Amino acid sequence: MKTAPRYGRSNFALPGRGRWLSLFFAMTLMTVAARGDEPYARSKDYDLQHSKIALKFDVEQKKIIGDVTHTLTTLRDNTNKLAFDSVGLAIQSVTVNKTAAKFETTATQLIVPLASVAKKGDKFEVEIKYEGKPSKGTYFILPDQDYPQQPKEIWTQGESEDTRYYLPTYDYPNDRLTTETVLTVPAAWLTVANGKLIGVKDAGNGLKTWTWQESLPSSTYLITVVAGEFEEVRDSWRGKPVTYYAPKGRGDRLKINYSRTPQMLELFSKKLGVDYPWEKYAQSMVDDFVAGGMENSSATTNASSSLVNPLLAPEYATGQDPLISHELGHQWFGDLVTCKDWGNIWLNEGFATFMETLWSENYFPKEQSEYERWSSVREWFEQANLWAKPIVRHDFDDSSEFDGNAYGKGGLVLYMLRHQLGDDAFYRGLKHYLEVNRGKNVVTADLAKAIEEETHTNLDQFFSQWVYGAGAPKFDLSYSYDDTKHQVMLKVKQAQKIEGRVGLFHIPTDVEITTAAGAKEYPITVSKAEEAFSFPADSAPAMVLFDKGGHILKSAEFHKEKKEWLYQLKNASEIADRADAAQALAKLKEDTEVDAALGDTLRNDKAWGVRVTAADALGERKSPAGAKLLLEGLNSATEPWVRNRIVAALGNFKDSPEIAAKLDSVAKDDKSYRARAAALLALGKIKAPNALATLNAAVAGDSPDNFLRNAALRAMGPLGDDRAVSTLREWIAAGKPIDTRRAAISSLARLKKDDQEITQQIAGLLNDAHFQLRFGAIFALGERGDVSAVPALESLLKSNDLSIEMVPMIRAQIARLKRGPGKKPEAGETNEAGEAGGDEAVATRLDRLEKMIQEMNQRLKNIDERLPKH
Ligand SMILES: [Zn+2]
């Protein structure tokens, strides 16, 4: 599934960015009372082969009426009972081979004693009739008095262990079954389920019955049901149906955001050498989804926030492709071949992340994927909580396994594996892996073995350090030139602390040395704590690059002189090396030559990722010359995803009337909505003297999907002007758009801090039906610093529908309130993004997160909790 964004920081800016899930978003849906996900696969008593799942709905009551028939075979002699996972369902009757059977239920299971002891290989047909109002697993999104226009939607979300909340079944990935799904719904509704549509029949009473059949086996967490007032667009790929669904009224947003799907199907089928295996591919976009996207077999569900307004969609460099390619990639990695246990979830998520890269590098200009990779590496290092954990781990009691190692690091590890093996061997290895494991459940050793079988390359060390080991190399690099020997001596230190699962890394890489005579590349392999390599060079080098192009997940402190960084910024052929130079130069303060070089890069580099990195650097340097260069850069920048970043960099310059005036004019009428939104935020951040008038005007005005209003509301908190309180309270009210309410919460929390009535208003949202608002309220209260909110947060901790991810977040906010303002978190305490950091870093990440939520409607970190109401 997809949780978060992986684009560089800047890219998070808005609706439409699809990174669903990144790490931040991992979602596990376990209840506190229950426990985290089961880390190891279960030993099985039976093999579930087929389920016929018939569901009816009492929509107003948010109730499901189910009748499921399981076909299964026992796997052991002396089997005297069959147990199914089942939570909160009222079981009405059970038959075994058409004979009424006794049964008992516990909090988590339906147990069916067998009339006589079964042998290994005995076949059973077990029919279960039941009803329930699921607290998770199935969600009813309905109109209410505050939101009368809401289209009616019912959708399910099984991963990780929530199918059992609406279907008594074997609910762990290590089993696979085919399904027939029979859905009886109001005649005007559409439905989507796994597999092929067999037919739609009139069912009387204004109802219709839809029958779907999936003939390829997959795991129960990949079962899906979507039903409701939807609009459909039909497309196809090699004769298979490719369909897209939007909630009623938003069908016109499908094509602009989703129409590249068939091209992706073609690319992935060709590159992998294994054709897309399912009989159709549907993508259903639903409201209030609990994730960014979920790869149910043949029928992905995505958050409706991916239906970006057609006026905003062109402002995103890659549109919704990261989300779409991620979920599509799962159809091979996750669905056709499935992790055996949650400890190996990276075999799903790391691959899906890698498939985003595959699409990006094949469809967009080369600079796009290169910049994404450079940003992903930095993003991973920013998440300090990931450092000590290996990718494959089974100790996730108190933190989700759907973390930045499974996603970001997993994707980078596969990228490195390809880089090391070469394209041909790598894809041959993957093809073999998919072919031998097709329709099976796998652990990491199966991947290593398949690639080795195909390529005859032993990957034990690679997997040992990158997948079973933790951390990454932190290089300390320096070189000297000996002009008598005509030699460059490069010193390489691995400076990471060797402890726990973090060791020394053994890595082949390339060093490039550029002299007046040209550039030359040398392959080396690093493996020691400290070592030195010498290379011939006719003269002192102008540039020495280690890991040219940035292919390794690493950090590097390369001790170079200013002139070398300047040369590298201008002349390095690869994006990563130029971006590295821009970052290194950002630290050489008060140097007009550096300012000028960064300004030149901002205007002239051919890669937009390097240009925005230069903009960030100029913003960080805060020099008067840099401010001017940013203003000039803004004049020439055309792409919205560059303009918004330059504008954001201008938000670092306080007390400059010229910049405040420019931001004001951009906020009022730039051709890019993203730039205007960034300008509104920057005006708040610099506390520009007349900012409130501009923000108020933006709140009052209209823009596509409230885009500018939301930005203006978000800017009011940083502005710190208490006169904004009444506006914020107005927009936080029930009936206003959810994302607008969300935007207003954190700003309101920062104003009139001694007004307990505001604290109470925000605390009132802790129990709101919309998870985004609950989530926003939790962090807003921590930010507000009013200890009177502690009891409300503590009582929220006691509610039993919280996800495992939610609990530490609430606890962290309580600790923050008790600690008082301005104190740093203790070691181990993390902020919203699961990362430790200072206020500024926290603010940046909150901002990023906030946007993600806004954009994706995803339930971050398992925020699946929904109140009974929704
Ligand atoms: Zn995923």
Say what the pLDDT of residue 36 is. Answer: 78
Give the mean model confidence (pLDDT) for residues 81-103. 98
* pLDDT range class, residue 775, cuts 50, 70, 90: confident
Residues 677 and 654: beta-carbon distance below 8 Å: no
> SS3 string of 357-399?
HHHHHHHCCHHHHHHHHHHHHHHHHHCHHHCCCCCCCCCCCCC
Say what the pLDDT of residue 44 is. Answer: 98
- How does pLDDT run across 703-756, given as a tens digit for each residue? 999 999 999 999 999 999 999 999 999 999 999 999 999 999 999 999 999 999
- State the distance from the centre of ligand 1 to the C-alpha of 530, rounded, in angstroms: 38
Query: pTM for the full model?
Result: 0.92
- How does pLDDT run across 13-45, given as a tens digit for each residue? 222 223 333 323 333 333 333 357 999 999 999
Q: Give the Cβ contact number of residue 342 at 10 Å.
A: 27
- How does pLDDT run across 795-829, given as a tens digit for each residue? 998 876 676 567 778 898 999 999 887 666 654 44
- State the distance from the centre of ligand 1 to the C-alpha of 44, rounded, in angstroms: 26
- State the distance from the centre of ligand 1 to the C-alpha of 334, rounded, in angstroms: 8
Angstrom distances, CA of residue 185 to CA of 56, 167, 699: 7, 18, 40
- State the distance from the centre of ligand 1 to the C-alpha of 1, rounded, in angstroms: 3
Strand partners, 193: 225
**Residues at Cβ < 5 Å from ligand 1 ion:** 1-2, 349, 352
- How does pLDDT run across 642-691, given as a tens digit for each residue? 999 999 999 999 999 999 999 999 999 999 999 999 999 999 999 999 99
How high does pLDDT run on average in the chain?
91
- State the distance from the centre of ligand 1 to the C-alpha of 670, rounded, in angstroms: 36
- State the distance from the centre of ligand 1 to the C-alpha of 421, rounded, in angstroms: 25
Q: Give the Cβ contact number of residue 162 at 10 Å.
A: 26
- How does pLDDT run across 120-136, given as a tens digit for each residue? 999 999 999 999 999 99
- State the distance from the centre of ligand 1 to the C-alpha of 67, rounded, in angstroms: 30
What's the burial of 826, exposed, middle or buried (CB within 10 Å: 0-12/13-18/19+)?
exposed
- State the distance from the centre of ligand 1 to the C-alpha of 810, rounded, in angstroms: 25
- State the distance from the centre of ligand 1 to the C-alpha of 612, rounded, in angstroms: 28
Give the mean model confidence (pLDDT) for residues 150-174. 97
- State the distance from the centre of ligand 1 to the C-alpha of 408, rounded, in angstroms: 11
Q: Give the Cβ contact number of residue 782 at 10 Å.
A: 24
- State the distance from the centre of ligand 1 to the C-alpha of 27, rounded, in angstroms: 10
- State the distance from the centre of ligand 1 to the C-alpha of 722, rounded, in angstroms: 42
- State the distance from the centre of ligand 1 to the C-alpha of 118, rounded, in angstroms: 39
- State the distance from the centre of ligand 1 to the C-alpha of 741, rounded, in angstroms: 28
- State the distance from the centre of ligand 1 to the C-alpha of 50, rounded, in angstroms: 25
Angstrom distances, CA of residue 258 to CA of 227, 241, 271: 20, 14, 21
- State the distance from the centre of ligand 1 to the C-alpha of 350, rounded, in angstroms: 8
- State the distance from the centre of ligand 1 to the C-alpha of 327, rounded, in angstroms: 6
* pLDDT range class, residue 141, cuts 50, 70, 90: very high
- State the distance from the centre of ligand 1 to the C-alpha of 611, rounded, in angstroms: 30
* pLDDT range class, residue 362, cuts 50, 70, 90: very high
| Chain-centroid distance, C-alpha 591 | 39
Strand partners, 112: 82
The answer to whether residue 854 scores a pLDDT higher than 70 is: no
| Chain-centroid distance, C-alpha 77 | 44
Residues 836 and 842: beta-carbon distance below 8 Å: no
- State the distance from the centre of ligand 1 to the C-alpha of 333, rounded, in angstroms: 9
- State the distance from the centre of ligand 1 to the C-alpha of 486, rounded, in angstroms: 51
- State the distance from the centre of ligand 1 to the C-alpha of 352, rounded, in angstroms: 6
Give the mean model confidence (pLDDT) for residues 567-588. 98
- State the distance from the centre of ligand 1 to the C-alpha of 481, rounded, in angstroms: 48
- State the distance from the centre of ligand 1 to the C-alpha of 507, rounded, in angstroms: 28
